[in-house]
């Protein structure tokens, strides 16, 4: 059977299996086993040898130790309610503006993203805190849902991000080391946050009914009181951000070491908030173990899939198809981005990375694209996967904790403008690569 036919059949089997609802990690490994046997003439010992060698290589990857550490840090912060004080402060500071409460949600979500990196924690936390508040203040339900869901997804992009750690562990390239990826993601994350704020501010300025300001009689705090409240709630998470990101960008610690420092910092913040107890630590540890096991199972399944796919010549088939087109390299880039966007509507981000990165990265390098720039484009694109139906996780996270007044129709309607904003942001970063590459060149050179 030719490599072209095997490539089509392998991808087709994967899509059908996922559509049927089978567990993703098992699906990836099963499809890899089936087509690995077909490709090597049902030589079981040879396939097992291939699988064992590649699986062992995953567990020898020191960078991946950062995954459970960052998850544990996020779990501690989630349970210690560090972000609640900042939301309350910004509620008072920005509430007098049209759309001010929505802007406060975006700012808090951006800070929260820089301290946790887990979408579920960000969206659930902001859904619980801001969902009822926006409703009480008369905000449009669709706009409110879009603000919370979209800004909550910044956690997958703004460092420390589990997705960036996984990507860095996949490629093995110096240009896409975790440190470079972290530095490269800072400005794109802030740009997207800024675009969200600009959209909310402009739209509410033209139509105040969408996001009315707090009534005058409720604005009783002095300027000094507002400043004191903001600093008191902002300094602790900002100190944690400096602990984690500062040590990485300064070259003092590796991402894994910085993740360990972040765990210590999160525990310290929880102690100062008097929310650090044995139950919090136990529940955080259990959640960390479950999430890490899930990610590593996906990692193994995805690795087996990509190894078999590449060994049977599937990577060459895709590369020849794309590189053989008599078009601009940016048309090929657009095709790859469209594939990632489409897959994001149906498949978990981790599985997408594990499948497409080994295939698309060599193509990008053949086209002389900067590997770091290309990596960040994929990661930025994957942020949309949390918002796009039918399987946008952020939408269901929010619906699970939101007041019953928020219908799925409100949520779907509300996220459309923010998905368009993400695509616009992606286009901006394609047109201006320096947004991605400048900070890594400042901190790490080259």
Residue 82 is predicted with a pLDDT of 67
**Domains identified in the chain, total number:** 1
Which long-range contacts does 282-285 make (Cβ < 8 Å, 24+ apart)?
283/75, 283/79, 284/72, 284/75, 284/76, 284/79, 285/72, 285/75
Helix axis angle for 349-366 and 278-311, nearest 10°, is: 40
Compare 374 and 324 and report the one with higher pLDDT. Answer: 374
The pLDDT of residue 83 is above 90: no
CA distances from 381 to 334, 337, 430 (A): 11, 7, 11
CA dihedral of 314, 318, 321, 324, whole degrees rounded to 10: -100
Q: pLDDT tens, 373-413?
A: 999 999 999 988 888 876 677 887 888 878 888 888 888 89
- As a whole number, mean pLDDT of residues 25-41 equals 88
- The domain of 364 spans 3-444
Distance CA 54, CA 150 (A): 36
Confidence of residue 438 (pLDDT cuts 50, 70, 90): very high
């Amino acid at each position: 059977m030719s490599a072209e036919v095997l490539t089509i059949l392998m991808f087709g089997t994967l899509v059908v299996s996922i559509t049927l609802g089978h567990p993703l990690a098992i699906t990836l490994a099963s499809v890899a086993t089936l087509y690995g046997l077909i490709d090597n003439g049902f030589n079981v010992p040879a396939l097992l040898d291939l699988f064992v060698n590649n699986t062992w290589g995953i567990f020898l990857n020191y960078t991946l130790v950062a995954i459970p550490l960052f998850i544990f840090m996020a779990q501690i912060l989630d349970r210690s309610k560090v972000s609640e004080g900042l939301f309350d402060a910004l509620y008072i500071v920005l509430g007098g503006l049209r759309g001010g409460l929505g802007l406060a949600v975006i700012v808090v979500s951006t800070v929260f993203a820089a301290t946790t990196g887990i979408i579920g924690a960000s969206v659930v936390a902001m859904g619980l805190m801001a969902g009822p508040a926006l409703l009480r203040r008369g905000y449009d339900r669709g706009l409110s849902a879009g603000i919370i869901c979209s800004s909550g997804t910044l956690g997958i992009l703004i460092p420390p991000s589990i997705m960036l750690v996984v990507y860095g562990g996949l490629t093995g390239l110096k240009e896409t080391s975790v440190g470079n990826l972290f530095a490269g993601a800072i400005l794109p994350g802030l740009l997207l946050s800024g675009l969200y704020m600009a959209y909310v501010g402009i739209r509410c300025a033209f139509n105040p009914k969408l996001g009315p300001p707090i009534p005058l009689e409720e604005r009783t705090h002095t300027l000094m009181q507002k400043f004191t409240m903001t600093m008191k709630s902002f300094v602790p998470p900002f100190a944690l951000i400096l602990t984690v990101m500062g040590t990485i960008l300064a070259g003092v610690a590796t991402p894994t070491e910085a993740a360990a420092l972040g765990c210590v910092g999160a525990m310290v913040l929880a102690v100062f908030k008097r929310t650090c107890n044995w139950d919090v630590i136990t529940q955080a540890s259990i959640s960390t173990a479950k999430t890490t096991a899930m990610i590593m199972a996906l990692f193994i399944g995805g690795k087996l899939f990509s190894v078999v796919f590449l060994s049977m010549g599937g990577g060459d088939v895709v590369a020849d198809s794309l590189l053989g087109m008599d078009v601009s390299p940016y048309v090929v880039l657009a095709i790859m981005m469209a594939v990632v966007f489409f897959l994001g509507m149906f498949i978990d981000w981790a599985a997408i990375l594990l499948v497409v990165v080994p295939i698309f990265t060599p193509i990008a390098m053949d086209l002389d694209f900067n590997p770091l720039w290309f990596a960040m484009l994929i990661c930025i694109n994957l942020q949309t996967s949390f918002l796009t139906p039918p399987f946008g996780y952020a939408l269901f996270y929010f619906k699970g904790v939101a007041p019953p007044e928020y219908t799925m129709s409100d949520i779907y309607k509300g996220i459309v403008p923010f998905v368009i904003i993400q695509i616009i942001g992606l286009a901006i970063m394609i047109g201006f690569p320096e947004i991605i590459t400048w900070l890594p060149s400042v901190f790490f050179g080259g």
